[in-house]
Structure 1
């Protein structure tokens, strides 16, 4: 009887542990909205109330403007992020696996990494024009630099014991790379993707503030000129939702691809 009770308690603990992030996240969201409403209701803040933002959200959604801006920003982020990540993975593997390639490439990576992508926006606009090219380029650069460093770190962090053991068993470099290095580096690569996504969204909003005719950053700039705080909040919330959804997709992929990794 005691063993059965202990098993039942363990099962419930596991179920509760799996659902805890969702429960805590919901509670945190409710508390945040409540604190926002209380701050505006008590006059402690000049921010628009949640109800005013919700009303403006409905207006922009019904007019179709919100979805057009979301599509414009999301398209730029997806293209720039995809191009940057696709290039970063092989370059990171090359740097981590071949010391000669690391010696040639790493100084340039470190040089551009300390330059904020936002600082390159004016140069990109002057050289590439004011259409989609400069926006996608700076997003590409932000995503590439985040992902390439993470991929490189994943390769050099592979336990040498595994590589030596594979060599002792007769495995060639190609087999070691595909069966040992790539799986061991996957968690680092996905972390780089998550960081790259954040950099991509920050960059696209800044690019749209400077030169754009559509997008969530452009909409915030227009709202700033006319002091439309609810519109600014709607754009911020839309960016947060899109970024959160994309981040959850990467986390889902991480759970599937690195299920062998121990987690706390």
Structure 2
């Protein structure tokens, strides 16, 4: 009887084991396809774009001065990064020196903007009267393109580093302020009331409940702010910024050096992608629960 019961139980469990094994196989396939499929598809897309670009250059539909082949851009990369050439790089500075200058400006400008935006957003989220008064001003500033107030900053602060940093700061802080205010005002009130019922003081509620709950949205605002600041670096370097990567693009544009312009745009775009990936990694590290609950 017992042997027969055991055999029947094993026969009934066999389909379940097979279904579980099939489910694990599908899950493993999705995992590895996600790990390798995304980068592989991205690589294929880049190679296809380069191939189309090369074919257009070979077809001579436009002059080489308008559409240079990818090899010309690669040659400019090698020239601008070679410290042993006659000029020490493009117009006396290597590509990496110019990139370092621009990244320093972006770091200062976006750093100041993020600090101001987070502090102002906290006040806006916690004090409704301040939000009503300040929100229209922040929205007005966010709607202005960076070039709109660059001339005013030059009049106020001259043509040195100050207007560039202030321009990037003004471009960066509105997204952070808006995201922080929305995140703080949207925190579940039950969490706050529960913390107060347990005897937590106001600053403890802010540091232990409000900020952790609002952190994912605040970091999303930081991500947007850094992207806006970095995309504005070319505008910031239109005034006495020839030593930056944006200044290199503007200088090459004046002399119709299309390959150098494309090189600068590629460098700005690629470094922007790297910076964005780092911010996303930090957000996942600080808020691993996001998207799982």
Q: TM-score normalized by structure 2?
A: 0.83
Matches within 5 A, 1:48-197: 48-63=68-83, 64=89, 65-197=94-226
Q: Secondary structure at the match of 2:159?
A: coil
Q: Counterpart of 1:33? A: 50
Task: Report how far residue 221 of structure 1 moved.
Answer: 1.6
Q: Counterpart of 1:17? A: 34
Q: Counterpart of 1:242? A: 271
Aligned-partner Cα distance in 1 for 2:56–2:206? 56
Aligned-partner Cα distance in 2 for 1:41–1:146? 44
Is residue 2:66 matched to residue 1:43? no
**Cα contact 2:72–2:259 (8 A) shared by 1:** yes
Aligned-partner Cα distance in 2 for 1:161–1:36? 57
List per-residue Cα deviations over 1:51-105 (Å, max 9, x = no partner): 1100111111113421121111111111111111122112111110122332343
Equivalent residue for 2:24, pick from 1, 7, 12: 7
Aligned-partner Cα distance in 1 for 2:226–2:55? 33
CA RMSD of aligned residues (A): 2.1
Change (3 A) 1:23 1:184: farther
Larger CA Rg, structure 1 vs 2: 2
Matches within 5 A, 1:202-221: 202-221=231-250
Aligned-partner Cα distance in 2 for 1:217–1:61? 16
Aligned-partner Cα distance in 1 for 2:44–2:190? 45
Change (3 A) 1:31 1:212: same
Aligned-partner Cα distance in 1 for 2:26–2:135? 52
Equivalent residue for 1:253, pick from 282, 289, 292: 282
Aligned-partner Cα distance in 1 for 2:292–2:264? 35
Change (3 A) 1:19 1:175: farther
Q: How many residues align?
A: 264
Which has the larger helix fraction?
Answer: 1
Q: Which region of structure 1 is more displaced relative to structure 2, 130-139 or 241-250? A: 241-250
List per-residue Cα deviations over 1:134-176 (Å, max 9, x = no partner): 0000001111112111111111222334334444555443333
Aligned-partner Cα distance in 2 for 1:254–1:23? 25
Aligned-partner Cα distance in 1 for 2:53–2:199? 63
Aligned-partner Cα distance in 1 for 2:232–2:163? 11
Q: Unaligned 5+ residue runs, structure 2?
A: 1-16, 84-88
Q: TM-score normalized by structure 1?
A: 0.91
Aligned-partner Cα distance in 1 for 2:46–2:210? 40
Aligned-partner Cα distance in 1 for 2:96–2:31? 40
Aligned-partner Cα distance in 2 for 1:6–1:115? 52
Task: Report how far residue 38 of structure 1 moved.
Answer: 2.1
**Cα contact 2:159–2:239 (8 A) shared by 1:** no
Task: Report how far residue 181 of structure 1 moved.
Answer: 1.6
